[in-house]
């Protein structure tokens, strides 16, 4: 009997993302990495009580967005816009407009796509306020999300709204998915609300996977992978 768990799924999903995105290595190294580094070194963008995503998580989001090719992405937790840039850069590889909306109580940027060359019509919108405020706005537009990145704690009020926004094939990324950090808290909330019955939890990718790209780093980003996109193949 073959048993798949969050760890074995992590190895398989991460390996496929790295193999399938091998041709994007120059884009990651020459476009996204310098942009991320520049923002991290800009004192005007920093906030003492927050931290930006690490290299492994940025690469994970970049490759997952490339694979999913989402047209509409929502994000909780803007900060300096590095995760939004990784998502936009990856999604933009499909050569179709990318719409991203992100929220933060105290965002340090209003232009998370600044410095990126994305398909015409792409746009990033920053909502200064709670996740509930952003989800209410999206629900009022009858939006349906292709991808969701949670880099902030969900509130109970969000769950009913997410039931309207999530699709069976929405790809969900969970930041800080280790120990008792917020990623696992968000995972538990989504499970208890019955919102991810059609998804499989994928642990953050292990260090050894990133070494295929010559990177000594780790990721704390987990994924909720739509079960409809887990396909058995003879090759």
List pLDDT tens digits, range 85-125.
Answer: 999 999 999 999 999 999 999 999 999 999 999 999 999 99
Q: Is the per-residue pLDDT at 232 higher than 90?
A: no
Whether residue 177 contacts residue 183, with contact meaning beta carbons closer than 8 Å, is answered with yes
Predicted structure pTM score = 0.96
| pLDDT tens-digit map of 20-68 | 999 999 999 999 999 999 998 888 887 766 778 899 999 999 999 999 9
Angle at 61 between CA 145 and CA 9, to 5 degrees: 90
Structure tokens that stand for 113 in this block:
């796509």
Q: Which of 44, 151, 54, 164 is nearest to 105 (CA)?
A: 151
Whether residue 61 contacts residue 88, with contact meaning beta carbons closer than 8 Å, is answered with no
Please tell me the predicted confidence (pLDDT) of residue 99.
98
Burial class (CB in 10 A: 0-12, 13-18, 19+), 109: buried
| pLDDT tens-digit map of 119-128 | 999 999 999 9
Cross-strand pairs, 148: 74, 172
Whether residue 137 contacts residue 127, with contact meaning beta carbons closer than 8 Å, is answered with yes
Please tell me the predicted confidence (pLDDT) of residue 194.
97
Please tell me the predicted confidence (pLDDT) of residue 4.
84
Please name the residues in contact with 142: beta carbons below 8 A apart, sequence gap of 6 or more. Answer: none
Which position has the token pair 């999530």? 166
> In the structure, what pLDDT confidence band is assigned to residue 82 with cuts at 50, 70 and 90?
very high
Please tell me the predicted confidence (pLDDT) of residue 97.
97
- Which is more confident, 234 or 80? 80
Q: Is the per-residue pLDDT at 16 higher than 90?
A: yes
Whether residue 24 contacts residue 63, with contact meaning beta carbons closer than 8 Å, is answered with yes
| pLDDT tens-digit map of 131-148 | 999 999 999 999 999 999
- Which is more confident, 234 or 54? 54
Query: What is the secondary structure of 91-119 as a DSSP string?
Result: HHTTSS--EEEEEESS-S-S-TTTT----
In this prediction, residues 170-193 reach a mean pLDDT of 94
């Amino acid at each position: 009997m073959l048993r798949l768990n969050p760890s074995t799924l992590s190895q398989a999903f991460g390996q496929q993302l790295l193999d399938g995105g091998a041709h994007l290595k120059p884009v990651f190294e020459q476009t996204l990495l310098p942009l991320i580094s520049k923002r991290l070194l800009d004192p005007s963008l920093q906030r003492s009580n927050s931290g930006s995503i690490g290299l492994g998580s940025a690469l994970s989001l970049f490759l997952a967005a490339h694979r999913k090719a989402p047209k509409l992405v929502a994000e909780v937790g803007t900060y300096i816009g590095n995760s939004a840039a990784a998502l936009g850069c990856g999604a933009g590889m499909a050569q179709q407009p990318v719409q991203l909306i992100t929220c933060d109580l105290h965002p340090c940027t209003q232009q998370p796509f600044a410095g990126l060359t994305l398909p015409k019509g792409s746009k990033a919108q920053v909502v200064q306020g709670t996740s509930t405020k952003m989800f209410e706005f999206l629900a009022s537009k009858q939006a349906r999300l292709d991808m969701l990145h949670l880099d902030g704690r969900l509130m109970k009020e969000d769950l009913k709204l997410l039931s309207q926004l999530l699709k069976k094939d929405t790809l969900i990324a969970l930041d800080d998915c280790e120990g008792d950090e917020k990623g696992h808290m968000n995972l538990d909330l989504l499970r208890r609300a019955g919102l991810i019955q059609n998804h499989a939890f994928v642990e953050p990718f292990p260090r050894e996977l990133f070494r295929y790209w010559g990177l000594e780093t780790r990721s704390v980003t987990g994924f909720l992978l739509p079960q409809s996109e887990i396909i058995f193949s003879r090759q």
